[in-house]
Every structure is written in structure tokens, then in C-alpha cells.
């Protein structure tokens, strides 16, 4: 990347105004045109949202987008839309035992609604608040029940939240679902197992974060032949018989030895926001798990490493290709030293990775600045602004009033060939995804609140 150090947050104000205007149009268009009988909308094909049966992990982004739209614009139409759809549709996601995505579906809906109430943005109602709290309590417990113990000399009780692939599988994505456990714990929920054994949700969240830092992130310390500072593996595979780590793998990237950039972005954002949450914890509460200094150290190492890798392995304008080891990147020549080209003939870009990663860069930048390391913090902050300055403009911001997507050139599953290749093109491009659109809205809200000196946006603002 070529970080633009001249950008200020306020420089993006006009782009944010245009962004929210377009965002509202897209939400209304989906509400008007999408056939709900198809299931959750996942990604667009020729400009229209469609579904893709794999797991139900995107519906919270759909309704969460309406809630964020209200948050940014005060248009009550979107609040009512998000509220009613959460009430009528989201209950199955609370009790869904087959996915690792509770932090996506339920924090984006119930969590955002409770946050707005706590922040005084919507009127307080005890029954409504209790409803949102109960949903978040149970969601976090259900997520925590997908638990695989692992062998680790570093800490007793080590383990991770397993992916939908099974108990052997740790996905880097799930770092963002730790929010569900953190909120359930913060709301005072008691999670019980066989024989009424009480299971500590904070402990499980911290162990999962540690396992992700240890096995999904690389640090250039000689772990294998492809060990680079900040590289990530989509999946880490364990032997469930003895708890030993076996190998890196990938479901949506090119291989376990290359870096799928959306997985990298999940780590960037997840570690940075968990660092922010860590500052709200009491020292005594953290002591049984190694203490603040140890926990903060491994979170910060993972956050800085992944953000550094993104900066070093992304084209000049801040938009990455879908995998840094994609097999035909070499055919693009010196692609890192020029802006990304979503219309090239060889490998797709992934704008959704940029939307997610930008938030990680901005949050890490603020975290380090608040800790007194303003010079390093500024580097990440400016990198985040550089990404958004590109993302919130053409050819990534969707101007076509008939296109249901907001952020163009998102990729879902390149290895499976699920993404739409338009006529005349050799690669997938021009389409959007629910997660890309939602995270673009989330980072836009984050930045807008900073520009307007409004309360700092975090997922844990919903805690009392």
C-alpha cells in the first residue's frame, strides 16, 4: 500500500454523505425486490441478491444494515425495518448449534439494537431491553458450546470454537464471533453443562482468541516454509483424539500455505476490537487466564502482525486481491506497485476484505495512539483512511440504482466457482456481498462518529 498521510477523517465527509444516501437506496431495493422464500441473501448475481446454501450466516448482516442505516441517518424507517425483522426472523439464529457465526448474525441485530438503547439513541423499554439481552445471553452460550479442547503447554483448559466443518476445525473468521461470548459474559449469563457444571464464557472467549493467535496467525518465527510476519491460514486443523495441531488448511483461500485476504481481514478487525474491549476488563477478572499483560501481548502481536501483512501485500490503493498467493497473480506483473484492477483477466480483487480490514486498521491505530504510541498508531490510522478513500468511490461504490449491492467487486468463494463472471469477462467482478456491504456500513458509521465527535462505536457499548 501507499499510505496517504495527508488524509484526515474529515476529508471523507462528502464521500460518507454519498455513501449513506446510496446505502439507503440499496436497503429499500432489497426490501422491495428480494424473494424471502429463497432464504438469506448472500451475494449478488448480475446485480440481484441471491442465496447460496452453505450455512445461514448472512441474515444478520441484512437486518443489521438497516439498523446501522438508522444509526447513521436517524431515518426511523430503517430502525423499524431492523427491529421488526429481528423480532420475526432472527430467533432461529440464536439457537443455531451448527455454525460458528453467532457474532455475525446476532451481535449485528440484537446487539446493535441494545447498543442504541444503551446509548440513548432509542427510547428505553425494560421489556425490549430484556428481550435483546436474553437473545445475546443465549447466543453466546450456544456459540461457546461448539468447543474443542486442545493440547497446549501454555494454559490449562485450552481450546477453540469449532467451525461448521467439525470439531477438528478452527476458522480464523471466528475471531469476530468471540463478541458473542464476551457480551453473554458481560450481561452476567451463567452457562451450564452436564451435571450443572458452570462454564466460564470469558475463559472460553480468551482461549479461543489465544488459539487463533497461536495457530491461525504466523509471525516469521520458522513455523514452516511459508511463515511470514502476519500471514494467516483460513483453517487450522487439529487431531481431536489427542488435541494436537496438525496443519493449516483453507476452505475459501487458495491453500493453507497462502493468505486468503478476507480471513486476514477478519483477524485484523477481530483482534483490534477485542483489544479495545480488554481495556474495560478488571485486572482481577483476567488474572486466572494469565493476567492483563500476557493477554494484551498476544492480542497486540496478532493485531499488528496481520495489519502489517495487509499493508505490505496489498496494492497501492488499499484494495487486496482475493488471496496473496493466488496462482495467476504473477501474470499481472508488478501488481503491488499500482492500484488494484478489478477488471483484469487473471485474479479477482475482494473489496469485502478491504471493508473489514479497514476497520481493523483504524481501531488498532486508535488503540495504539490511546496507549501513547502515536507515531505507530498514526500509520495504521492513515492506512485505514487510505483504504476507505478508495472503497467509498467508483469503481467500488455502486452507483447503479438497479444494482442491489452497495460495495462492488466482492468475492465469496473463488475455489468453488460460486461468484458471477459477467459476459465478456474472464474473472468474477462487479458484484456485492451481504458481509461486504454490512462491514462497509459498520466502518462508515465508525468513521462518521469520529468526525462528528459522537460516542465511540464498539460492539460492547451494549453492555450496562
What residues does each domain of the chain span? 9-462
Per-residue confidence in pLDDT tens, the chain, 464 aa: 999 999 999 999 999 999 999 999 999 999 999 988 888 999 999 999 999 877 789 999 999 999 999 999 999 999 999 999 999 999 999 999 999 999 999 999 999 999 999 999 999 999 999 999 999 999 999 999 999 999 875 566 899 999 999 999 999 999 999 999 999 999 999 999 999 999 999 999 999 999 999 999 999 999 999 999 999 999 999 999 999 999 999 999 999 999 999 999 999 999 999 999 999 999 999 999 999 999 999 999 999 999 999 999 999 999 999 999 999 999 999 999 999 999 999 999 999 999 999 999 999 999 999 999 999 999 999 999 999 999 999 999 999 999 999 999 999 999 999 999 999 999 999 999 999 999 999 999 999 999 999 999 999 999 99
Q: What is the pLDDT of residue 155?
A: 62
Inter-residue contact 390 to 12 (CB < 8 Å):
no
Domain 9-462 belongs in CATH node 1.20.1250.20: no
Inter-residue contact 9 to 447 (CB < 8 Å):
yes
Inter-residue contact 175 to 143 (CB < 8 Å):
no
Phi, psi of 245 (to 5 degrees): -70, 140
Q: What is the pLDDT of residue 107?
A: 98
> What region does 326 belong to: left with phi over 0, alpha with psi -120 to 50, or beta?
beta
Q: What is the pLDDT of residue 36?
A: 84
Q: What is the pLDDT of residue 148?
A: 97
The span from the first CA to the last CA of the chain, in angstroms, equals: 40
Which residues contact residue 63 at a Cβ distance below 8 angstroms, ignoring those fewer than 6 apart?
81, 82, 85, 86, 89, 90, 108, 109
Phi, psi of 463 (to 5 degrees): -80, 150
Handedness of CA 290, 292, 294, 300 (dihedral sign): positive
Pairwise CA distance, residues 102 & 88, whole Å:
17
Greatest CA separation found in the chain? Answer: 62
Instruction: Give the total residue count for the chain.
Output: 464
Amino acid at each position: 500500500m501507499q499510505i496517504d498521510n495527508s488524509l484526515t477523517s474529515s476529508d471523507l465527509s462528502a464521500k460518507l454523505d454519498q455513501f449513506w444516501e446510496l446505502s439507503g437506496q440499496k436497503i429499500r431495493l432489497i426490501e422491495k425486490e428480494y424473494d424471502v422464500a429463497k432464504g438469506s441473501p448472500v451475494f449478488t448475481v448480475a446485480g440481484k441478491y441471491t442465496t447460496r446454501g452453505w450455512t445461514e450466516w448472512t441474515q444478520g448482516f441484512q437486518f443489521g444494515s438497516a439498523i446501522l442505516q438508522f444509526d447513521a441517518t436517524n431515518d426511523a424507517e430503517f430502525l423499524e425495518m431492523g427491529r421488526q425483522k429481528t423480532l420475526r426472523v432472527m430467533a432461529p439464529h440464536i439457537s443455531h448449534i451448527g455454525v460458528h457465526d453467532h457474532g455475525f448474525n446476532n451481535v449485528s441485530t440484537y446487539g446493535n439494537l441494545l447498543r442504541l438503547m444503551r446509548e440513548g439513541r432509542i427510547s428505553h423499554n425494560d421489556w425490549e431491553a430484556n428481550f435483546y439481552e436474553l437473545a445475546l445471553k443465549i447466543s453466546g452460550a450456544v456459540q461457546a458450546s461448539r468447543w474443542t479442547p486442545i493440547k497446549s503447554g501454555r494454559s490449562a483448559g485450552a481450546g477453540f470454537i469449532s467451525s461448521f466443518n467439525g470439531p477438528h476445525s478452527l476458522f480464523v473468521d471466528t475471531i469476530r464471533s468471540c463478541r458473542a461470548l464476551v457480551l453473554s459474559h458481560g450481561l452476567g449469563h451463567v452457562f451450564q453443562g452436564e451435571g450443572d457444571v458452570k462454564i466460564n464464557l470469558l475463559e472460553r472467549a480468551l482461549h479461543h482468541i489465544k488459539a487463533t493467535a497461536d495457530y491461525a496467525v504466523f509471525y516469521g518465527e520458522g513455523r514452516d516454509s511459508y511463515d511470514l510476519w502476519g500471514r494467516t491460514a483460513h483453517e487450522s486443523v487439529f487431531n481431536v483424539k489427542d488435541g494436537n495441531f496438525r496443519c493449516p488448511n483453507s476452505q475459501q483461500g487458495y491453500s493453507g500455505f497462502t493468505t486468503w485476504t478476507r480471513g486476514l481481514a477478519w483477524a485484523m478487525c477481530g483482534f483490534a476490537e477485542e483489544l479495545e474491549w480488554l481495556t474495560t476488563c478488571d485486572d482481577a477478572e483476567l488474572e486466572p487466564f494469565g493476567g492483563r499483560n500476557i493477554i494484551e501481548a498476544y492480542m497486540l502481536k496478532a493485531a499488528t502482525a496481520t495489519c502489517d501483512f495487509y499493508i505490505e501485500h496489498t496494492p497501492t490503493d488499499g484494495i487486496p486481491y482475493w488471496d496473496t498467493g493466488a496462482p495467476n497473480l504473477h501474470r499481472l506483473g508488478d501488481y503491488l506497485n499500482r492500484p488494484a484492477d478489478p477488471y483484469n483477466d487473471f485474479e479477482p480483487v475482494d473489496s469485502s476484505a478491504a471493508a473489514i480490514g479497514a476497520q481493523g486498521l483504524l481501531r488498532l491505530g486508535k488503540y495504539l495512539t490511546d496507549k501513547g504510541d502515536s507515531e505507530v498508531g498514526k500509520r495504521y490510522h492513515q492506512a485505514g483512511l487510505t483504504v476507505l478513500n478508495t472503497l467509498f468511490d467508483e469503481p467500488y461504490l455502486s452507483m447503479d440504482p438497479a444494482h442491489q449491492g452497495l460495495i462492488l467487486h466482492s468475492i465469496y468463494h473463488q475455489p468453488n466457482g460460486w461468484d458471477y463472471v459477467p459476459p465478456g469477462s474472464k474473472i468474477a467482478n462487479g458484484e456485492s456481498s451481504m458481509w461486504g456491504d454490512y462491514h462497509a456500513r459498520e466502518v462508515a458509521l465508525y468513521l462518521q462518529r469520529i468526525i462528528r465527535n459522537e460516542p465511540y462505536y464498539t460492539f460492547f457499548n451494549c453492555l450496562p
